[in-house]
Amino acid sequence: MATSEVQLEVVRTRGELRRALAAAPRPIGLVPTMGWLHEGHRSLIQRARSENATTVVTIFVNPRQFNSPEDLARYPRSEGRDLAICAEEAVDLVFAPPVDEVYPPGFDTTVSIGAVGQPLEGAARPGHFEGVATVVAILFALVGADRAYFGQKDAQQVMVVRRMAIDLALPTDVIACPTVREADGLALSSRNVHLSAAEREAAPILHRALLAARSRWAAGERSAKTLRQVMSDELALEPLAKVEYTSVADGQTLRELARVDGAALLSLAVRFGSTRLIDNEPLP
Amino acid sequence: MATSEVQLEVVRTRGELRRALAAAPRPIGLVPTMGWLHEGHRSLIQRARSENATTVVTIFVNPRQFNSPEDLARYPRSEGRDLAICAEEAVDLVFAPPVDEVYPPGFDTTVSIGAVGQPLEGAARPGHFEGVATVVAILFALVGADRAYFGQKDAQQVMVVRRMAIDLALPTDVIACPTVREADGLALSSRNVHLSAAEREAAPILHRALLAARSRWAAGERSAKTLRQVMSDELALEPLAKVEYTSVADGQTLRELARVDGAALLSLAVRFGSTRLIDNEPLP
């Protein structure tokens, strides 16, 4: 299927995917997406292209990782635009399956991750990480990729997926790539499209709150409680921001810390109207 | 490692296994076992050998599928004997890993199967099928086998594993092989070693109960309640047999039936002292 000068192959079924990959040069790099591609995805694709002989992008809005039907229904979709971006980036193969190719009739399997999937997004969005771990296990098995690329913006997702891939002996290395941001600091997210003009203007407060806490940490502050308070205080300056959580957690386990002595993750979830945004900053 | 005239390779780690399999001729047939091999396992190995270019046997007493520590502790083990049988049967490769090669440090992933894993053994042994599905997912991913062979004696296990492999897009076809029996009808099981002489003599009652129900079905009886009663009545003849369940279930879903109109599974679980035995008979 030609969508530009570059020949982009788009497949829809497990069988087509297997056939298309049978003779693909290795290593294979995979960029799993839910579509509505933005510059963050583009950076993942470019990294995959630079490190692999074949680059595969999957476009699948995974119903199992949405914890509300409304959120699933309003998730933005535009396959034509996504395929044009993939063609521009010289992706070799796009897998854009219907739901029943990922979850065949009678599908009844769940992959769940323990401790690292429980706090933060796991607590806020029941079932979310089971949905993520299950679909990524399937995609990793189907593609048999050597490497898969995820955005650091979803830091806990990266940890859940990496744990799953190691534990289930899947052959895919999970690679976290830096969060891509707008000029004003807002992390790119497909959900940003839902922000009103006023909310969009307010949304960089997430990054400012993280940077404020990072500055205090860099100045020597080690109390996690204080660092959480720094984020909360910053967020309180923005009336449109409804804080869901601010967290200072262990960088390996995501358990909330009392003191920051080693690697840690600053993270937060904030609602603007009906749109929920997350962001994070790893320490150091 | 030579244990007989045939050269049998035994590997212990994920890495050794991958290296040993890298150049193995395909197709690869896998026989996953918990060791203490008997004629039932031997029949699986022979079938695998007849259909594949490479035959791999795994020997791993999987802690996660035992729902009691006592049951795990007393599960019989004899690796020397198992390896001798594998050598006799010209197995190409044995994977006999320690626990932390199957479940690496920090392991925290569970594969669970829905409806088909809930009744019967799933209800009697909480967590059992999560343990089975998780370890088999790992073994299938590690070995990348084309086919895996399981005994029909554990009929529900076969259904759980097959569902898991299809759902997670693992490349392994799950093949069920006929139950191997002693001359008196007792299904072979590693657990039979625990039976006292009197219990061993009594144990063929399981198969007789199944055959009694099958006969009534063959004579036209279609009431599942009546067929369950036929099994219970037969088992009641044996004072050492403590019945845990008798079941007449749909052959696809394992839901208990009212009438037997299509494929069905007669099954039962019976205790003799501290030893729990299961058996089944598919209809037709």
Cβ of residue B108 closer than 8 Å to a chain A Cβ: yes
Q: How confident is the model at residue B1 (pLDDT cuts 50, 70, 90)?
A: very low
- Give the residue-averaged pLDDT of B271-278: 97
What pLDDT score does A7 carry?
A: 79
From B258's Cα to the closest Cα of chain A, the distance in A is 22
Residue A206, C-beta contacts closer than 8 angstroms, at least 6 positions apart: A185, A186, A187, A235, A241, A268, A270, A277, A278, A279
Contacts of B60 in chain A (CB under 8 A): none
Asked whether the beta carbons of B255 and B224 are under 8 A apart, the reply is: no
Does residue B82 have a pLDDT over 80? yes
Cβ of residue B168 closer than 8 Å to a chain A Cβ: yes
What pLDDT score does B7 carry?
A: 79
Q: How many CB atoms lie within 10 A of CB B98?
A: 10
Cβ of residue A127 closer than 8 Å to a chain B Cβ: no
Tell me the pLDDT of chain A averaged across its residues.
96
Closest chain B residue by Cα to residue A103:
B167
Does residue A1 have a pLDDT over 50? no
Q: Which of B110, B137, B169 sits opposite A14 (nearest CB)?
A: B169
Contacts of A141 in chain B (CB under 8 A): 141, 168-171
Asked whether the beta carbons of B51 and B6 are under 8 A apart, the reply is: no
Query: Which of B167, B153, B141 is closest to B58 using CA atoms?
Result: B141
Does residue A3 have a pLDDT over 80? no
Interface test with B, best of A168, A172, A254 (most B CBs within 10 A): A168
Q: Domain spans of chain B?
A: 9-177, 190-276
Contacts of A108 in chain B (CB under 8 A): 113-116, 163, 167
From A137's Cα to the closest Cα of chain B, the distance in A is 7
Residues of B noted as catalytic? 41
From A14's Cα to the closest Cα of chain B, the distance in A is 8
Q: What is the pLDDT of residues A45-102, one digit of tens each?
A: 999 999 999 999 999 999 999 989 999 999 999 999 999 999 999 999 999 999 999 9
The ipTM estimated for the assembled molecules is 0.94
Decide which of 3.30.1300.10, 3.90.79.10, 3.30.930.10, 3.90.950.10 is the CATH code for A190-279.
3.30.1300.10
Q: How far is CA B53 from CA B84, B144, B176, in A?
A: 21, 14, 19
- Give the residue-averaged pLDDT of B258-272: 98
- Give the residue-averaged pLDDT of A15-32: 97
Return the residue matching tokens 């006023």.
Answer: A198
From B198's Cα to the closest Cα of chain A, the distance in A is 42
Q: What string of H, E and C letters represents the secondary structure of B5-25?
A: CCECEEECCHHHHHHHHHCCC
- Give the residue-averaged pLDDT of A10-30: 97
Cis? peptide before B27, omega within 30° of 0: yes
Q: How confident is the model at residue B203 (pLDDT cuts 50, 70, 90)?
A: very high
Cβ of residue B115 closer than 8 Å to a chain A Cβ: yes
Q: What is the pLDDT of residues B118-174, one digit of tens each?
A: 999 999 999 999 999 999 999 999 999 999 999 999 999 999 999 999 999 999 999
Does residue B2 have a pLDDT over 60? no
What pLDDT score does A252 carry?
A: 96
Cβ of residue A73 closer than 8 Å to a chain B Cβ: no
8-state DSSP, B27: S
- Give the residue-averaged pLDDT of A176-197: 97
**Contact between A103 and B163 using a beta-carbon 8 Å cutoff:** no
**How many A×B Cβ pairs under 8 Å?**
71
B246 class by beta-carbon count within 10 Å (0-12 exposed, 13-18 middle, 19+ buried): buried
**Contact between B114 and A114 using a beta-carbon 8 Å cutoff:** no
What pLDDT score does B235 carry?
A: 98
**Contact between B111 and A164 using a beta-carbon 8 Å cutoff:** no
**Contact between B141 and A116 using a beta-carbon 8 Å cutoff:** no
Tell me the pLDDT of chain B averaged across its residues.
96
From A255's Cα to the closest Cα of chain B, the distance in A is 14
Residue A105, C-beta contacts closer than 8 angstroms, at least 6 positions apart: none
CATH class name, domain B9-177: alpha beta
Q: Which of B107, B111, B142 sits opposite A111 (nearest CB)?
A: B111
- Give the residue-averaged pLDDT of B259-276: 97
Interface test with A, best of B60, B166, B167 (most A CBs within 10 A): B167
From A129's Cα to the closest Cα of chain B, the distance in A is 12
**Contact between A114 and B137 using a beta-carbon 8 Å cutoff:** no
Q: What is the pTM of this model?
A: 0.95
Point out the catalytic residue in the list A41, A128, A194, A207. Answer: A41
What pLDDT score does A4 carry?
A: 44
**Contact between B133 and A109 using a beta-carbon 8 Å cutoff:** yes
Q: Which of A103, A141, A167 sits opposite B109 (nearest CB)?
A: A167
Does residue A2 have a pLDDT over 60? no
Q: What is the pLDDT of residues B27-45, one digit of tens each?
A: 999 999 999 999 999 999 9
Does residue B3 have a pLDDT over 50? no
Interface test with A, best of B109, B135, B255 (most A CBs within 10 A): B109
Does residue A6 have a pLDDT over 60? no
CATH code, residues B190-276: 3.30.1300.10
- Give the residue-averaged pLDDT of A269-281: 97
Cis? peptide before A98, omega within 30° of 0: no
Q: What is the pLDDT of residues A121-165, one digit of tens each?
A: 999 999 999 999 999 999 999 999 999 999 999 999 999 999 999
